[in-house]
Chains A and B, each alone.
Chain A
Amino acid sequence: MLSKRMQPLTSQARRSYVELMFQVMGRALQAISEVDEVARDEIKRLPDGFLFEMQVMPAGPKLIVEHTGDGRLRFLGDEAPRPIDLSIQFKHIAHAFLVLSFQEKTSVAFANDRMLVDGDVSLAIRMTRVLNRLEAFILPKLVAERAVKEYPDHINFPNKLISAARIYLRVATNLVETARA
């Protein structure tokens, strides 16, 4: 009985968590494209103006970023100015929660059919590499190991600390600017 009463609350909490994580991830993607050369090299191969979306089906939370050129991404929130070029779609909010709460690695979620790719699969692979690099930087190593297939051994602690600080600073600044606007 109690669990039935709690269900809407749990569901709402899960949805709010996914929305929040998309907000942070969108801004963090923009930030990593500003501070990390390797991520920029990956993004550079996307066409200029390319729109990437992560979404929960059928009309759940979403994040949209745009490649503005030269490997830079811009977070657009959840509204696209034109049709999306590449969309990674979680089949259910529960699946998005599993991935975004680091209970299931992104690669495992793909293997488990939790997500669909609508668009060029090779570009989805590229964006997944950028997301993995982002997670390796901004998450504590123990958590990042649960999120990515393999924690990159070339990211040493000082490098991680500096990059994470720069990404978080940019995310925080962007959040404040958005709140002010």
Chain B
Amino acid sequence: MTNKYYEFFCPVKVIAGKAALEHIPFELTSLAAKRPMIITDKGVRAAGLLDPVIAACEESGLDIVSIYDDVPPDSSTTVVATIAKVYRKEKCDSIIAVGGGSAIDTGKAVNILVSEGGDDIAEYSGAGILKHPLKPFFVVPTTAGTGSEVTSVAVITDEKRGVKLPYSSPFLLPNAAIIDPRMTLTLPPHITAATAMDALTHATEAFTCMGKNPLSDAYATAAVKKVSQSLLKVMDTPKDEEGRLDLAQASTMAGIAFSNSMVGLVHALGHATGAIVHLPHGLCMSLYLPYVLEFNLESIREPLGELLLHLEGPEVYSATPAARRAEASISSIRKLRDELYKRCKLPRTLKETEKVTEDQLEAIATMALDDGSIMFNPKEVSLDDAMTILRRAWA
């Protein structure tokens, strides 16, 4: 009898493509929601990305009752409590989060407070605390990378205690994720590159780490294919709506994949680097991906070789001997990083970031060893291993 076992769960309705935003009013009213609140940040509002969302609702006679546009890059318990107060005061009945990871996580946390009651979001921290469905919650991502629109987790900083509080529950998942190419059309080149590399890393780790399963594999390979085919096209033609939609869908598919299979050492190192030197998450993923794949190589040779088909297409895949495909996949990712460096100077090494010093590497390695993602890395990692990878990624 096989010992294989897996779980897969994604109840989020994905609404994607041309005029997707215009489906929001129908989706809200089908959940009996009439008084939505928008949660976003100043950057999204200044870029004019709220306008089509508001217009889409107003054209259908649905007023946005309240807009909170002051979500900081690292959302906090105080911000969540403040937004929950506004939500209650304005008698809202649903939430639309418009933005990147922080706005989406904030939306998830606010939804806990306004559904479960109370003012202290810290009380709901942890896994499996929530036992009931929450208020109608919609997510409109404005970056194509985090995949937060399809993950059941959120992280909120507790400013008083100086710790990051994790929240995990299937009830945090939004009712719908609205993927509209208009929302990522104006994303600057370096953010487009870093967030797409984030999605590529989610998909690659989902496909090569210990929690991989047939369903997450399907999403992961589709995501890798879309990023490989569209990223450079979008970098060259930023207004390419089709390419933008491909990247946004890739991000969502990679999100579905990794939230059902988890990630590995690239994320462990990335989380530690983010905490210690405050580099953006997508950039960290891009920095470490090839070096970690090289470290894991002998444990992941087969799936990594298979990824070549999705990274380079059938011609290159069939022309590459089976025994060389895993190395060719790593070369393909390196080549992509070189192209991104040419186009927007996205750093390929820690040194190129000019924000990390060599004496910080040990602290990063030590912290990475205690990161939850390391559990799912296919190969055991020691402090020496982590240091070797970081030195390779240094320059």
Contacts and interface: CB of A to CB of B under 8 A. Distances in A.
Interface string A6-22: 00000000000000000
A44 to B, nearest CB: 13
B376 A111 contact: yes
Interface string B1-42: 001011100000000000000000000000000000000000
Interface stretch (B144-152, B180-188, B313-321, B365-373): B365-373
Contact of A110 (B5, B369, B376): B376
Interface in B253-281: 261-262
A125 B374 contact: yes
A114 B3 CA distance: 12
B127 interface: yes
A111 B371 contact: no
A55 B120 CA distance: 29
A104 B375 contact: no
Nearest to B299: A150
Contacts of B380: 148-150, 152
A104 to B, nearest CB: 6
B379 A150 contact: yes
A125 B372 contact: yes
A121 B128 contact: no
B371 to A, nearest CB: 7
Contact of B128 (A104, A116, A124): A116
A125 B375 contact: yes
Contacts of B378: 149
A170 interface: no
B-side interface mostly? loop
A93 to B, nearest CB: 16
Nearest to B375: A110
Nearest to B5: A112
A174 interface: no
A42 to B, nearest CB: 10
B210 A108 contact: yes
Interface in A154-173: none
B372 A122 contact: yes
Contacts of B371: 122, 125
Contacts of A126: 370
Nearest to B379: A150
Interface in A114-161: 114, 116-118, 121-126, 128, 148-150, 152
B127 A117 contact: yes
A11 B376 CA distance: 30
B166 interface: yes
A125 B371 CA distance: 7
B126 interface: yes
B99 interface: no
A111 B369 contact: no
A59 B124 CA distance: 23
B319 to A, nearest CB: 34
B211 interface: yes
B369 A125 contact: yes
A116 B375 contact: no
Contact of B210 (A103, A107, A116, A152): A107
A112 B372 contact: no
Contact of B6 (A112, A118, A123, A148): A112
A71 B127 CA distance: 28
Given A149-B380, A150-B379, A121 B211 contact: no
A70 interface: no
Given A111-B211, A149-B380, A118 B375 contact: no
Contacts of A103: 3
A79 interface: no
Contacts of B209: 111
Given A112-B6, A113-B7, A121 B372 contact: yes
A51 B120 CA distance: 26
Contacts of A117: 127
Contacts of B127: 116-118
Interface in B110-132: 126-128
Given A110-B376, A111-B376, A104 B370 contact: no
A117 B210 CA distance: 17
Contacts of B128: 116, 118
Interface of B: 3, 5-7, 126-128, 166, 209-211, 261-262, 369-372, 374-376, 378-380
Interface of A: 98, 103-104, 107-108, 110-114, 116-118, 121-126, 128, 148-150, 152
23 contacts: A98-B3, A104-B3, A107-B210, A107-B376, A110-B375, A111-B209, A111-B211, A111-B376, A112-B5, A112-B211, A113-B6, A113-B7, A114-B5, A116-B128, A117-B127, A118-B127, A121-B166, A122-B372, A123-B370, A125-B369, A125-B374, A125-B375, A128-B375
Given A112-B6, A116-B128, A122-B371, 18 more contacts: A103-B3, A110-B375, A111-B209, A111-B261, A112-B5, A113-B6, A114-B5, A118-B126, A118-B127, A118-B128, A121-B166, A121-B372, A125-B371, A125-B374, A126-B370, A128-B375, A149-B379, A152-B380
Q: Which 10 A-B pairs have the closest CB atoms?
A: A150-B380, A122-B370, A121-B372, A111-B210, A111-B211, A112-B5, A113-B7, A149-B380, A110-B375, A125-B370
